[in-house]
Amino acid sequence: MSAAATAAAERQLYRNKWGLWLFFFSESFLFAGLLVSRFYLWGNTRPDLDQILGLTVTSILLLSSFFVNRGEMLMKFGDRRGMMNNFLIAAFLGLLFLVGVIGFEWRGHILPTDGAYGAVLYGMTGMHALHVLSGIIFLLIAWNNARKGCYAPESLWGVQACALWWHYVDLVWVFFYPALYLMGNVVP
């Protein structure tokens, strides 16, 4: 690749990064709106949610972020197989997170029709779960592209974008977890 072509590719990468971060910024308004509605509607109270389940799904999501970061770093050093394995583990952990939230939390004693508590709980966890699902799909697409040999240490924007998206979803849960499970007094 000529020097001019390399420079153009790097400029494009720089703009891609900014584009993705601006998208994160716009998405943060959606999640901030959900957080504000939680504090407006619940005040200093919260429903009686399963604390162990909350801690478990949070730990699973943080662990998945670690594996995504590890995969991205390994790809940077040219270890394609390592990246694929780590992304696959992260996708599996993401799936476990969804099972925890949708399969267990949503089958608890609170229903979406239970007034403000149900509306906020299902609104926040539902919107976040949708993002986790999109992240899992993204991880699997990156895994498949890596399998086909689409990435190299000097061209790994697909891997970086996927990793950024996954970490963003994790970042949102960092604020959702205390807001849903830990803050306020339990209302029986």
- Listed residue (186, 24, 183, 181) closest to 101, CA to CA: 181
Look up residue 170 and give its amino acid. Answer: D
Quick check: 133 binds other proteins (CB under 8 A)? no
Quick check: 92 binds other proteins (CB under 8 A)? no
Quick check: 73 binds other proteins (CB under 8 A)? yes
Quick check: 62 binds other proteins (CB under 8 A)? yes
Of 1, 25, 29, 44, the one binding other proteins by CB under 8 A: 44
Quick check: 7 binds other proteins (CB under 8 A)? yes
The span from the CA of 21 to the CA of 165, in Å, is 9
Under 8 Å between Cβ of 132 and 169: yes
Of 40, 45, 51, 108, the one binding other proteins by CB under 8 A: 51
- Listed residue (67, 66, 65) closest to 83, CA to CA: 67
Quick check: 175 binds other proteins (CB under 8 A)? yes
The span from the CA of 32 to the CA of 171, in Å, is 12
Q: In angstroms, what is the minimal distance from the CB of 84 to other proteins?
A: 16
Q: Of the ranges 87-95, 110-118, 141-149, 160-168, which one interacts with other proteins (CB under 8 A)?
A: 160-168
Q: In angstroms, what is the minimal distance from the CB of 108 to other proteins?
A: 18
Note the residue count of the chain. 188
Q: What angle do CA 158, 161, 164 make, to 5 degrees?
A: 150
The span from the CA of 112 to the CA of 135, in Å, is 25
- Residues in touch with other proteins (CB under 8 A): 7, 10-11, 13-14, 17-18, 21, 44, 51, 55, 58-59, 62-63, 65-66, 68-70, 73-74, 76-77, 163-164, 167-168, 170-171, 174-175, 177-178, 181-184
